[in-house]
Structure 1
C-alpha cells in the first residue's frame, strides 16, 4: 500500500498572467486535489517575487479551506522570524475556528538564517561534499546559499518584513510560545495570557527544515512531525531526517517520528511531453539563485529562446537532476525510491508548469498511478 501523497503549492504566476489568476488556479487545483485523493494541500510563504503569489499563507489557507470540504490545508511554511507567536496563533486559530480539525500549521526558520549566513562568510568555506547515489536516490553536491541570503538585497527585504529594531526570535522559543498559547498554558511574569481565537485550536503543528540544524532538532525534541526538503535542498535531506530521528522524544502528539519529504515533479502521458512542460524550470530556478526572485513561469517556447550558458546550467544542475519528470509510472517509481531511502511516512509533491491545465493533469496522472484509481 502506498504512503499518503500531499501537495505543496506556491501559487505560481505564469508569464502573461497575474497574481489574481494564479490564486484562482490554486483554489481550483485544491478542489481537484481533494477529488484526486491527496492527503493535504500546503501553501508556501514567499515575498518580493513576481512569479509566486503565496505571500500570506493564513489568508490563502482560509480561502482554500472554504472552497474544499475534507482535505487538510496548511502552510509549508509560515516564516516565524517575521511574526510573533501571538499573530501566528490568532490567524491560524481564526481559520481553525471556521474549519476545525483540518488546518496544518507548518513553521519554518527565517531571520536567523540571514545572520548565520553573514557569520559564515567570515570563515573559510566548508569542504564541498561530492554528489553520490544512495540506493538509487541522487544526493547532489550542496548549493551554497550563504552569499545569496547574506546579500544587501535580502537585507532590504528583511527590513520590510519586520518592525524597526525587531529581532527574529529563536525557533525553539517561538515554537514553545505557540504551543503554550494553543494549549492555554502561556504565562509571562506570572500573568496568564489567553487568546481568542487560537486557544484550543485543533491545528496540527509541523516543523519544516532543510538541514541537520535547529529545525530538525526542535521538531525531534518536541515530538512534532517534521517535513524535509528534497525539492529545495536535495543535498542535505538525509542529514535532516537523520538529525530529526536522533533528536526525537515521544510526546502527546507523536509516539514515534513522522517524516514528510518533498519532491519536485512534472508528470505527463509521455516522457517527451513531460520534459517539454518542465523545460522552463531551469530559468525559474536560475532567477531564484541569482537573487532576482522567482520570475513568472515561462512558456516552453520562451525557455527555448532564452540565452543560456554553461555557467547558468551549472548554477541549477542539482535542481534539474533531482526534479522527477516523466510518465506516471516512471515518476511514481522515483518517488518510491525517495520514500524508501528517506524512510518517509508521507510525500509532498510540488509541480509548476506554465499552463494550469497541464499542472492539474500532472497531479491527476500521478494520483491515478499512486493510488491505483
Structure 2
C-alpha cells in the first residue's frame, strides 16, 4: 500500500508560441487545481538563462502562489544557495513565512542551476560558488534565522521565521550533508535516477538526529506523465524529452508542441538519449504507471513522493495529476 504524501514540482514552463505570462498563469492555475485534489506541497525550481523555464525568481513566484492558494504548502525545489547571499535568502523566506505561516518550504540546492557565466552574473563574485563553500553558506543561513550571527546582523524578517528546510540533491554528496545536519532530504530522481538508491542509503545510514528532525525523512521527485493510454502518454511526454535534448546540446528553447516534437528527426543517438531519460520514471496509462510506481516505491521506500509533469497543455498536465490520484493511487 502506497500511503505517503503526494506533491508537485513545477518548472513554470514557457511553451513554444506562448508568452512567459501565459506560462506563469498556467503554473498558478495548476497550483490551485492540485490543491483542490489534495496534493501536499507545490514547489518551483530555480533555473536561469533558460528560455523554456520561467521560475528564475522562486521567492517572488512563491509569494504569488501562496496568495493564490489557501492550504497547500508552497516551496522552492530549490533555491540554489551558491547564487545568493545567505542573508538575502533568510530575509526572502522569512518574509514568506511571516506572511504565510506554516505553509512555506525552503528547499536548498548546492549547484547554481545554470552555467558558470550566469552564476557569476548572479553572485557578482566567485566567492561561495564552489561546492566546498556550501556547508559554510548553509550554516550562515541558519544563523540568520536564529539570530546568532557573530557579526550581530539581524535578518528582519528572518529571525524567528524559519520555514521548513529541505536539502536537495542528485548525488551522494548532498545526501551525506543532509544526514550530517539532520535535515529533510529531497532527491532528484527525475534527472538522476541511477543515483537514487545509493544516495538514499547514504542518507539513512549516516543520519544524525538534530533540532530539525529526529529521524531521516526522504522525498523523491519523479517525472510522471499519466494519460488514458500508453500511446497518448508517449505523445505527451515527447516535447519534454526534446526540450532536454536541446538543452544537452547547448540550445535551450521553449517547450515544443507535441506536433513540433513529432516532426523532429530522431535518430539512434536521440532515441538512446530519450530512453535513458525515461529510465525509472512514471510514464503511461494508469495501469502501467501503477506497476512502475510499485517497483519504484519498493526499491526506494520514500516518505514522500513529488511529481514533475512537464507536458505542453495545462489541461493535459491537470489530467495527468487527476489520473494519478484517482486511478493510480486509489487503485
- TM-score tier by shorter-chain length is over 0.9
Give the match for residue 211 of structure 1. 171
Change over 3 Å in CA distance of 1:316–1:326 after alignment to 2: closer
Give the match for residue 250 of structure 1. 209
Q: Distance in 2 between matches of 1:45 and 1:307?
A: 30
Deviation at 1:340, TM superposition (A): 2.1
Q: 1:173 aligns with which of 133, 136, 146?
A: 136
Contact 2:178 2:203 in 1 (8 A): yes
Does residue 196 of the first structure (1) align with residue 156 of the second (2)? yes
Q: Distance in 1 between matches of 2:265 and 2:271?
A: 11
Give the match for residue 185 of structure 1. 148
Deviation at 1:312, TM superposition (A): 2.1
Does residue 307 of the first structure (1) align with residue 265 of the second (2)? yes
Q: Distance in 2 between matches of 1:19 and 1:68?
A: 21
* Corresponding residue SS for 2:172: coil
Give the match for residue 124 of structure 1. none
Q: Distance in 1 between matches of 2:65 and 2:27?
A: 8
Deviation at 1:21, TM superposition (A): 0.6
* Corresponding residue SS for 2:74: strand
Deviation at 1:165, TM superposition (A): 4.8
Q: Distance in 1 between matches of 2:211 and 2:290?
A: 34
Q: What's the TM-score, normalizing by structure 1?
A: 0.84
Give the match for residue 87 of structure 2. 86
Contact 2:179 2:216 in 1 (8 A): yes
Q: What's the TM-score, normalizing by structure 2?
A: 0.94
Give the match for residue 325 of structure 1. 283
Give the match for residue 29 of structure 2. 28
Contact 1:212 1:242 in 2 (8 A): no
Change over 3 Å in CA distance of 1:372–1:202 after alignment to 2: farther
Contact 1:19 1:53 in 2 (8 A): yes
Give the match for residue 219 of structure 2. 260
Q: Distance in 1 between matches of 2:171 and 2:239?
A: 27
Q: For 1:161-190, what per-residue CA distance to the aligned partner results, in whole angstroms no more than 9, with x for missing partners?
A: 2214544262211221111211222213xx
Number of residue-to-residue matches in the alignment: 328
Structure 1 residue ranges, 4+ long, deviating more than 6 angstroms after superposition: none
Return 5+ residue gaps in structure 1 as ranges.
Answer: 114-148
Change over 3 Å in CA distance of 1:6–1:165 after alignment to 2: closer
Q: For 1:263-303, what per-residue CA distance to the aligned partner results, in whole angstroms no more than 9, with x for missing partners?
A: 1011112222212211222211101212223x222122111
Q: Distance in 2 between matches of 1:358 and 1:351?
A: 9
Q: For 1:307-347, what per-residue CA distance to the aligned partner results, in whole angstroms no more than 9, with x for missing partners?
A: 22212223343112333211223213322321221121011
Task: Return 345-354 or 164-173, whichever deviates more.
Answer: 164-173
Give the match for residue 158 of structure 1. 119
Change over 3 Å in CA distance of 1:335–1:160 after alignment to 2: same
Q: 1:342 aligns with which of 293, 300, 304?
A: 300
Does residue 298 of the first structure (1) align with residue 298 of the second (2)? no
* Corresponding residue SS for 1:101: coil
Q: Distance in 1 between matches of 2:201 and 2:192?
A: 15
Contact 2:281 2:292 in 1 (8 A): no
